[in-house]
Amino acid sequence: MTILLLEDDPAIADTVAFALRREGFTVEHKAWLAEARERLKQAPAPELLILDIGLPDGHGLDLCREVRAGALAHLPVIVLSARSEEMDRVLGLELGADDYLAKPFSPRELVARVRALLRRVQAPPPATAGFLVEGSRVSLDGVVLNLTKLELGLLTHLLRAPRRIHSRDTLLDAVWGSSAESTDRTVDTHIKTLRAKLREAAPGSDPIKTHRGLGYSLEP
């Protein structure tokens, strides 16, 4: 399991790399934004990206935004930053980070967050009628769905427990993370766009059901 660490402070980088390697992860450290960009063009891609915001040659969130708009759109991203204000955290999450950890931080907490995030994004959903999941690609009745990272997160979470009613709070925590500054309306908006894409792939189908006051379920 390879983690790309983008951090320009050698002491912090050494601490993070040591904590992760001790848990069995392979860590590739880059101190410059340009170096990280070049590494992400190479195969195989890392399984997770940890990045600082303030870097010698640019802003770490620029890389996060680029990742979300490119071929690695589903790469898990954790931000490490000395900026701990609410607005900084909200901005990082809105630009595509999956988690945001303020400095100074506990290496043990970082490792725990890495493991939790990898569990969330890698757990394969069970086979469900009409759906086929292959890594970050999902198809419905043979048609590949063009989903955003958040739509993919919602769908795979629903697929893991079909017919179960998932509350909006549960979906927020599973897809956006417990630290995300999002609301029920955020879930409703993304469910709406996800439904539209499912109907486009399989006209006449509407597998996501709304349970008023309770949440959503997937009924294959």
Residue pLDDT, tens place only, 128-176: 668 887 767 888 888 999 998 889 989 988 888 788 888 888 888 888 8
The CATH architecture of the domain made up of 131-218 is Orthogonal Bundle (1.10)
Topology (CATH) of 2-122: Rossmann fold (3.40.50)
One fold for 2-122 and 131-218:
no
CA distances from 116 to 28, 48, 120, 122 (A): 20, 12, 6, 10
Cut 0.75: pTM above it: no
**CA 54/CA 26 separation, integer angstroms:** 24
- Which region among 52-66, 129-143, 148-162, 202-216 has the lowest average model confidence (pLDDT)? 129-143
Question: 159 and 153 in contact (C-beta within 8 Å)?
Answer: no
Domain boundaries, the chain: 2-122, 131-218
- Which region among 2-16, 159-173, 176-190, 198-212 has the lowest average model confidence (pLDDT)? 176-190
